[in-house]
A and B are shown apart, each in its own frame.
Chain A
Amino acid sequence: MKIIQNIGLLLVILAILIFTAMLGIGYNKMEISDLNLENEDHQTAIIEAAQGEAFFGEELSSIAFISKYKSILKKASNQLNENWSNGPIKGKEEWTYKLQDWQISKYVESSIASTADGPVQRNPLLFLGLTFGLAILGGLLYIIPLFNEHEGIKHNGIYHNPLTRGLKVNVRSLFLFGGFFAILVWGFFKLQNLFWPLVTIAVAGIITALVFVKDKSKGQDPQRSASPIDTGWLGIIAGTYLIGFYILLYWAPSYIQNWIDMVDPVSRMLSGGEASQWFLYGLMYSVIVLVMGIRMFTKYQHNKYQKVRTASVIFFQLAFAFLIPEILVRMNQPWFDFKNIWPLDYDFFYKYNLDNLMSSGGLGVFMLVWGIILIIVGIPLMTYFMGKRWYCSWVCGCGGLAETMGDPFRQLSDKSMRAWKYERYIIHGVLAFAVIMTAMVLIHYFTGRSTLLGMNVENVKSWYGFFIGAGFSGVVGTGFYPLMGNRVWCRFGCPLAAYLGIVQRFQSRFRITTNGGQCISCGNCSTYCEMGIDVRSYAQKGQDIVRSSCVGCGVCSAVCPRGVLRLENGSGDVGTRTEELRTIHISESEVGIL
């Protein structure tokens, strides 16, 4: 059995190696005839600039191709600028004549797909088999034998394992601050905008000041955040790999054309259209949720709540997030994920989306109405009856990945008081940002005003998309699984989770009840709370738990060795049972006077 599992593990590693190596194979070859730009000035200038360069008709690696094409475009751009500076050219407009930086990026990106060629393009299915296929096969070989193990908690050795042990607090801080500033610097270069990175730094400074001074966290160094004796080196490798993957996916898709071409046949089969990086991502996401979901079934054979919940996230990912939108596209309808809700789905109210939905007939209008009803009726109602878990750990895609692929890392969430304080400022800050941005978008949509309070709506949108949509939810949200646990985005960043959390905290029947005096303060519940809630601090006081961040995954209840915790919905008596000093055995009335 062990041998089969090890073979499985090897296959997965092999698949990852092949997947990674794929970025270095094949070539891009562009003929002059491939250059069919609408802008004739650009077309001519580019061909001129390429003269004497070994570019057209050459087989270049994707990295060399991109860099060479960029330098040629730059040269062409300079030439056009120079031409124009010699005096306006008759019959031309400056803004169409000149070749702008954003157009350079666009020309490069749009040339990649058509010029890429090599083994992957000739045999996409072979590579699909060698990566996705091998990884799925290996994963299942590793996972299926686990069904033979005894039922029960499977956490042996988690803190002995260099993959799941976590990072010393200073190493983690390095990743955290390094990641934060690197994203800001990258944002500055990418968006050519200094204002928003500076605003972000200022907001981070204000939040830190609030946490340290107003909330008196200075001197309260967190002990329970991280700090194993040794940093898990495999965790660092895994985290770095994931971060790298997301950077390529969001910000440099030109370099991953081989991956995209590999899944192209699948895309054509499903939607009929060619694959994009988002199709690649959706397919990977679904496969991972499915395979790691099966792992959840092996881990929680004894726990029906976990099995039902896992089945639910697999279903919603495969059907709602992946297959239905692709099928909609095949039927010439808009790509639409019926379970994605604003403000997580932050571009729902963007003009292009509203126009797209409203021009797509009855179904499009239904999608628009459905999306709005979910926001204003669906969320409050569902959350009132069963807490935010109905979404966060049963339906949501981010939650689905966190609960499957992220499950081995759930113990790495930061349980310190300081982290909780940061959490409250940051997540509500993101919610406020999303609301303000959407308000601006809608004002712009209805009145045409593109500037509000001195801020340009396009700039606000692009910073939100870059910093929150890509940086926070993707690069940090998933890349940090092995570094800070599987719910970094859900806990600190997701504006929808913030909204659901407010409803859960103030108007919901959901709570985690504690079982009288049975708690032995062992700390399993807190350790395995992916949201970093110090569950034990409530359980040992016999206090029922109502916390806005709780996603109701049910693992605290599962790992409790004394049967203390239960997720429940009930209409009565949340108030007194959540009082902090709800003593279990001595009350003031029992205190006699001698």
Chain B
Amino acid sequence: MKHIVIIGNGISGITTARWVRKLSDHKITVISSETDHFFSRTALMYIYMGHMRYEDTKPYEDWFWDKNRIELKKAHVNFIDFDQKQLQLDDGSSFSYDKLVLALGSKSNKFGWPGQDLNGVGGLYHYQDLEQMEVYSNGLKRAVIVGGGLIGIEMAEMFHSRHIPVTMLVREDSYWSNVLPSEESKMINNHIIKNGIDLRLGVNLGEIKDGGTGTANAVVVKESGEEIPCGYVGLTAGVSPNIGWLIESGLDIGRGIKVNEYLETNIADVYAIGDCAEQQSPQPGRRPIEAIWYTGRIMGETVAYNICGKPVKYNPGLWFNSAKFIDIEYQVYGEVPAKIRDGMTTLFWKHHDNEKSIRINYDTDSRAVLGFNLFGIRYRHEVCEKWILEKTHIEEVLTHLGMANFDPEFYKQYEQNLIDQYNEQTGSSVTLKTKRGLNKVLAFLKS
């Protein structure tokens, strides 16, 4: 029996602990200074908005850990002695490990803006960030959010839910335009504005002004010099691995902790997973660092197999992701770049309400489907993935496109609209043969 120590109780660390327990009888300790128990980071916004309580964001009840012999320790690790295999904690204690898993997560990016460390300035990643937002929300007249990514729009929605006016400063000319194709990006611009959020595109943060008490009281826009008075500044310009304290430790570190495909670091018996891990040789189509919920989950599962002597390579599979932009759901499967690359053709249909769209990318020559991008419409992960992996011809996909539809019953289906668009665009005459429904899907997935 070995002692497996996991630093970090987020989705990666906890998945590791659960799978090590499933696969072995090792002693397991999970250390975190953030919260006593694992909670879903992605649900922080819902606590603020009053949709859920903190308790509701915990995927497991508190007795789960005892029952599964997973020891939880609330402490901060100050120092790791890799030679002696020892950890030093902030409470002065130290203890040893046989195998160490670093699941350290991220921290919010700060780019050296003047005033970035003032009170009333914060990101949204940790539970403590939420507590900060709560403190400053009382009587808040306006919040300014710097950065137009997924967390930025979440934070905007949070303040908006409490009728606190929000200004969003976005560096790009359109929301998240480094990831979203321009049509979709523009749709989200509209949606943000429709919700009464003051969206400023193509602007940068100049400085955050100190109100004289060490607390932010205004933001200066770099380009125009305009000063926007505010009581809170959200920094949501992305996240980066939370590894500052390990730089001199002997670990091989780039932007994150470098790991091989078995998630091993350069030091024996030390693994890194989740947001803080940087793949030395990422799989084609994937970035070296991916701070995404499901990659953390897959890494946790993978590393548990490796720790338990069942070596398996990290394989996140075909790219997919999802998000929700205020009221518009977003799903992506496969290759959907912001700008169409050579050899790729795109088929795009948008509903006139400007809140729903379907995009399918396919190879111009072979006409094999490459990617799906959905806004306001739900598609099935397994079906889209199978079509892409099997390089299915676009017309075959369109013929059976109903199989992919995952919207609730009675929802209007828009597959025919997309096919009309395709026929018009290519002069073909594809007809929709398969509509939404489970039986055909199950048969297809088995085939």
Residue numbers of A with Cβ under 8 A of B are 150-153, 155-161, 219-224, 227-228, 302-305, 308, 411, 415-417, 513, 515-518, 520-524, 526-527, 536-537, 540, 554, 557-558, 561-563, 566-573, 583, 585-586, 590-594
Contact = CB atoms under 8 A, between A and B. Distances in A.
A571 B443 CA distance: 11
B52 A153 contact: no
B352 interface: no
A520 B42 contact: yes
A524 to B, nearest CB: 7
B49 A156 contact: yes
Nearest to A306: B408
Contacts of A586: 298, 301-302, 305, 312
A585 B67 contact: no
Given A158-B51, A524-B46, A566-B406, A417 B61 contact: yes
Given A521-B42, A562-B331, A527 B51 contact: yes
Contacts of A517: 294, 297, 317, 320, 381
Given A561-B324, A563-B378, A591 B51 contact: no
Interface in B20-56: 40, 42-43, 46, 49-53, 55-56
A157 B50 contact: yes
B53 to A, nearest CB: 6
B341 interface: no
Contacts of A416: 61
Interface in B191-226: 194-195
Of the listed residues A160, A570, A583, the one surrounded by the most CB atoms of chain B closer than 10 A to its CB is A570
Contacts of A569: 438
A205 to B, nearest CB: 23
Given A155-B49, A305-B408, A554-B408, A562 B329 contact: yes
Given A515-B378, A566-B407, A572-B439, 10 more contacts: A151-B327, A223-B61, A513-B438, A517-B294, A521-B43, A524-B51, A561-B329, A563-B379, A572-B442, A572-B443
A573 to B, nearest CB: 5
Interface string B80-112: 000000000000000000000000000000000
A110 to B, nearest CB: 51
Contacts of B70: none
B55 A152 contact: no
B301 A585 contact: yes
A46 to B, nearest CB: 59
A158 B50 contact: yes
Most buried by A among B51, B322, B378, B385: B51
15 contacts: A151-B327, A157-B162, A159-B51, A227-B55, A303-B408, A305-B409, A513-B438, A521-B40, A522-B42, A527-B51, A558-B408, A563-B331, A570-B442, A585-B316, A591-B311
B150 to A, nearest CB: 11
Contacts of B297: 517
B382 A516 contact: yes
A567 B408 contact: yes
A515 B380 contact: yes
Contacts of B327: 150-153, 302
Interface string B404-429: 00111111100000000000000000
A382 to B, nearest CB: 16
Per CB-CB distance, the 10 closest pairs between chain A and chain B, nearest first, are: A516-B381, A570-B438, A152-B327, A563-B378, A522-B43, A157-B50, A304-B410, A220-B63, A561-B324, A572-B442
Contacts of A593: 310-311
Given A308-B410, A586-B301, A563 B442 contact: no
Given A220-B67, A223-B61, A516 B438 contact: no
Nearest to A557: B408
Contacts of B369: none
B351 interface: no
A156 B160 CA distance: 10
A570 B380 contact: no
Given A303-B408, A563-B406, A518 B331 contact: yes
Contact of B49 (A157, A558, A585): A157
Contacts of A573: 442, 446
Nearest to A225: B55
A160 B406 contact: no
A592 B61 CA distance: 34
Contact of A523 (B40, B315, B382): B40
Contacts of B312: 586, 590-592
Contacts of A558: 408
A115 B267 CA distance: 92
A514 to B, nearest CB: 9
A515 B46 CA distance: 21
Contacts of A223: 55, 58, 61-62
A583 B40 CA distance: 20
Contacts of B53: 159, 227-228
A150 to B, nearest CB: 6
Contacts of B50: 155-161
A150 B195 contact: yes
Contacts of B180: none
B322 A563 contact: yes
Chain A CB within 10 A, most for which of B298, B326, B331, B438: B438
B178 interface: no
A523 B317 CA distance: 25
A222 B322 CA distance: 32
B62 A221 contact: yes
B59 A540 contact: yes
Interface string B314-336: 01110010111011010100000
A304 B408 CA distance: 8
A228 B52 CA distance: 10
A264 B393 CA distance: 70
Contacts of A302: 327
A224 to B, nearest CB: 6
Contact of B322 (A158, A518, A572): A518
A158 B66 CA distance: 32
A224 B381 contact: no
Contacts of B57: 522-523
B301 A156 contact: no
A319 B188 CA distance: 44
Contacts of A228: 53
Given A157-B49, A223-B61, A527-B52, A566 B408 contact: yes
A302 to B, nearest CB: 8
A304 B293 contact: no
A522 B46 CA distance: 9
B55 A592 contact: no
B333 to A, nearest CB: 9
B439 A583 contact: no
B330 to A, nearest CB: 9
B55 A224 contact: yes
A520 B291 CA distance: 13
A159 B57 CA distance: 13
Contacts of B293: 520-521
Contacts of A520: 40, 42-43, 293-294, 322
Nearest to B321: A518
Contacts of B55: 223-224, 227
Contacts of A227: 53, 55
Contacts of A570: 437-439, 441-442
B11 interface: yes
Interface string B358-392: 00000000000000000000111110010000000
Contacts of B43: 520-524
B47 to A, nearest CB: 8
Nearest to A583: B301
Contacts of A303: 408, 411
Q: Which of B11, B43, B305, B311 has the most CB atoms of chain A within a 10 A radius of its CB?
A: B43
Nearest to A308: B410
B181 to A, nearest CB: 19
A518 B320 contact: yes
B59 A537 contact: yes
B298 A585 contact: yes
